[in-house]
Amino acid sequence: MMDINEQLKLQAYLDGELGEAEAREMANRLTQDRESMALMAELRNTRQILVGFEKGIRLTESEDFYWSQIRRRIEAQQSRLPQLEHRVSWVSWFRRRLAPVTAMMLVAFAGLVAFRGTGYFGQSSATEVETALGDPGAFTYRDYSAGTTLVWLSYPAEN
């Protein structure tokens, strides 16, 4: 099976674009390879059809005028494109602008709720720590949600 480079080389041979050595090599290949011969026949038929087709087309204007009309139509369509971009529906505007912001806010809210339960943002309202100013070696810790109280003495007890 011929790859694309070999097919292009065969097209170049048909168009007379190959050097002498490559042209001889391609001519030898055409005598030996059936696939190359079939492709060459197809290329010749396509060329004959296109040449006959082009002869039937007659322009009423000059070629320069014809192509300038095409260029003006393309430019006119391109100038209309920015106007179409301004007609954006509110749904697409919401999707492009507010949806990402909403998603970030939801993630931040979920993070706050998750950290609140861990006590990361300070002690919860159900906990209380009490220290005695007169005695800096003792303090009391009360956890109302668990129903516990802890008294911590940091010095050895005296009589």
Residues of the chain with pLDDT > 70: what percent? 74
Contact 152, 146 (CB under 8 A): no
| pLDDT at residue 27, rounded to an integer | 92
Q: Is the pLDDT of residue 12 over 90?
A: yes
Angle of the 4-15 helix axis to the 34-55 helix axis, nearest 10: 50
What's this model's pTM, rounded to 2 decimal places? 0.36
Q: Where are the domains of the chain?
A: 4-55, 89-122, 123-159
pLDDT band at 39 (very low <50, low <70, confident <90, very high): very high
76 beta partners: none
Contacts of 149 (CB under 8 A, 6+ apart): 140, 141, 142, 143
Average pLDDT, the chain: 79
- Among 11-25, 58-72, 77-91, 103-117, the range scoring the smallest mean pLDDT is 77-91
Q: Is the pLDDT of residue 85 over 60?
A: no
